[in-house]
Amino acid sequence: MKKLLMLGECMVEMAAADGGLYRQGFAGDVYNTAVYLKRSLNTPAQVGLLTAVGDDAMSEAMLACFRAEGLDNRHCYQLPGAMPGLYLIEVDEAGERNFLYWRSQAAARQLVRCIEEDNGAAFSGTDLLLFSGISLAILSAEHRALLLERLKALRAQGATLVFDPNYRAKLWGKDEAAHWLAQAYGCADIALPGLEEHQLLWGQQSPEQAADFLTGLGVKELVIKQGPEQLFVNGQYLAVTPAEQVVDTTAAGDSFNGGYLAARLDGQSPLEAAKQGAALARRVIGYRGAIIDKNQWA
Ligand code: ADP
């Protein structure tokens, strides 16, 4: 059975609900992708999170939530005394969503220390590993460099490395992000970015320009997302069918990645996989929050 690892941070989510209440959940880019990948795969595989959490009640609930999604928890390091990060989704008077974060002390920031103390044991036997720009942004520069060395070694052993830059201006400076994201692309076989981040960080205005940049960094397979407009899949444009109702675009890109990778692992071509990813993302944006409730999934 294939071992698929999603490396990064999962947070406690508090989403504004009616009557001044908040609905508590768990979310984070690589976790969202893990959930949708696991739910969409037809081929049996071990899908797991490579992350660090604390030993508090919220961390325990988070691990229980991973288990309930059928995710493998063997590589979730538990740090005594640490806690997970938290974010809150507020809806303002104009109906715009604002995100507020409490993540500076999050356990996931210590992930590389855990990996190193474990001599990289988590990577053993990994067939595919997904990581993101957020996975890197929350680390120190020293830990980013250590992690990328580990990922290069993993790739050299034959694992497929998948990267989504998921650029968040709040987490790091533009020049710093441009530097590290390019380094990360240099470790990736498959890249799943959005065009907008390439426009912002490297001034590439078209999917063709972004694709040339990625190919130059050694990426072999790429999908460039352009929100509701179109997809660019290994040199070919694919039209996106607009959603009938956009309720909440949270996790559109993450669910696309999950659907795409599931189809690729099930043996579909990149173009067919992009269609599956887009269909899933279209569905996810019809629901509130990152994760569609399990009882509404089937
Ligand atoms: P993110 O900002 O979360 O990375 P994007 O806006 O790039 O997400 O969208 C990711 C994918 O979600 C797109 O490639 C597309 O397939 C789908 N998508 C986004 N917005 C819409 C929409 N309005 N209608 C249908 N599909 C959409």
Residue-range definition of the domain harbouring residue 183:
2-9+29-56+107-296
Q: What is the DSSP string of 249-277?
A: -TTHHHHHHHHHHHHHHTT--HHHHHHHH
- Mean pLDDT over each residue of the chain, to the nearest integer: 96
Residue 209 lies in a domain: yes
Q: Average pLDDT of 12-40?
A: 94
- pLDDT tens digits, 134-167: 999 999 999 999 999 999 999 999 999 999 999 9
**For 10, phi and psi rounded to 5 degrees?**
-115, 140
- Evaluate whether 265 touches 129 at the Cβ level (below 8 Å): no
Pocket of ligand 1 from Cβ distances under 6 Å: 194, 225, 227-228, 231, 240, 242-243, 246, 249, 252-253, 256, 278, 281-282, 285
Predicted TM-score (pTM) of the model is 0.97
Domain count for the chain: 1
pLDDT at 156 (0 to 100): 97
Pocket test for ligand 1, best of 199, 246, 282 (most atoms within 8 A of CB): 282
Q: In 3D, which of 194, 272, 262 has the Cα closest to residue 228?
A: 194
Q: Average pLDDT of 53-60?
A: 98
Distance 36 CA to ligand 1 centre (A): 15
Residue 274 lies in a domain: yes
Residue 240 lies in a domain: yes
Residue 139 lies in a domain: yes
Residue 205 lies in a domain: yes
pLDDT at 186 (0 to 100): 98
- What percentage of the chain reaches a pLDDT higher than 70? 100
pLDDT at 178 (0 to 100): 98
Query: Maximum Cα–Cα distance for the chain, whole Å?
Result: 53
Q: Is the pLDDT of residue 95 over 70?
A: no
**How far apart (Å, rounded) are the C-alpha atoms in residues 258 and 174?**
27
Q: Is the dihedral of CA 112, 163, 8, 62 positive or negative?
A: negative
Indicate the pairing of strand 22-27 with strand 45-53: unpaired
Indicate the pairing of strand 160-164 with strand 190-191: parallel
Q: Average pLDDT of 173-186?
A: 98
Question: SS3 of 5, please?
Answer: strand
Q: Is the pLDDT of residue 169 over 70?
A: yes
Q: Is the dihedral of CA 89, 92, 95, 98 positive or negative?
A: negative
How many other CB atoms are there within 10 angstroms of residue 175's CB atom? Answer: 9
Which one is catalytic: 56, 254, 266, 293? 254
Please state the length of the chain.
298
Task: Find the CATH number of the domain harbouring 289.
Answer: 3.40.1190.20
Q: Is the pLDDT of residue 216 over 70?
A: yes
ipTM of the complex: 0.98
Residues forming beta bridges with residue 6, ordered by sequence position: 49, 130
Q: Is the pLDDT of residue 97 over 90?
A: no
- pLDDT tens digits, 233-281: 999 999 999 998 888 888 999 999 999 999 999 999 999 999 999 999 9
